[in-house]
Structures are given as C-alpha cells and as structure tokens.
Structure 1
Amino acid sequence: MKKKDDLVKSKFNDPLVQNLRRVHVGKEGYDWKFYLIPGVGHEWCPQMVESSVEWTYQWMVKKNTEEASKL
C-alpha cells in the first residue's frame, strides 16, 4: 500500500528548495539535503531519523569536538 502526504503535498516544497539552491551558501548534499521518501506520509520514518542523526553528528557533535580540541 502506497502512502502519500495529504497534509503537505511534496509540490509545495519545490519553491523552498529552489530558493535554498539559489541563496544558500552551503553545498547541497553536504550542508543540506532534500529528498522525498516514496510511500511515506506526513510522519517520520527510520530513514529520516538516521539522516537527522548523521546531520546532528556532522554539524553539532563532530564540529564541537574539533573546536574543543583546538583549545
């Protein structure tokens, strides 16, 4: 059974993503990612949790650890 997000349609993300691509100084795929997960409605799935953990480690844990080692 294929789920879809009936609360926020994916097409409404397009203007936000296009603006990010135009103005964000970071690199897409490194600083930020946009992807749609087929079959997922308006809820979190394991892939989203994993991606969030990876981002948090990259930008909050690892970066803070590197900064602390410079002190």
Structure 2
Amino acid sequence: MTYSTKVLETSTASAPIVTLAATPTASGATINYAFTAAGNPDSVGAIGLTTGAITLATGKSIDYETTTSIVFVVT
C-alpha cells in the first residue's frame, strides 16, 4: 500500500505526516508498525508502534531546497 502527502517546511517536531491503517488477519491479533532499516532517511520520522502515526522526529526539520521528497518504508 502506498500513501502520499505534503508536509510544510515550517512543520515542528511531532507534526503529523500521515497515519497508516492496517487490519489484522487473525482474530485478536495486533498490528505493530516500524520503519525498515533503510526506511527512515536521516531519521527524520518517528512512528507510533501501535498507532501507525508518522510524525516529524524531535530535533528534525524539513528543507525543500535540500530534499524535495522523503520515502518512508514501514513493516
């Protein structure tokens, strides 16, 4: 599944980027979200383990002139 969104350069830490949604296939199972080893360039994102909410990580910023897009890969 692919999600796409736009984020302002002026976003602050913990600013929401996107919230992922998945449904467990087994009754009573839970979903845990995590970035793959290379799925969080420059550690710019933070992800909620059980919520799937991706936010701007503490101490990070976005500079469009330097990086025009960021691809997160989540498992």
Q: Which has the higher helix share?
A: 1
**Higher relative CO (CA 8 A, sep ≥ 6), structure 1 or 2?**
1
TM-score range, shorter-chain basis?
under 0.3
Which protein shows a greater Rg?
A: 1
TM-score, with structure 1 as normaliser? 0.24
Q: Which has the higher strand share?
A: 2
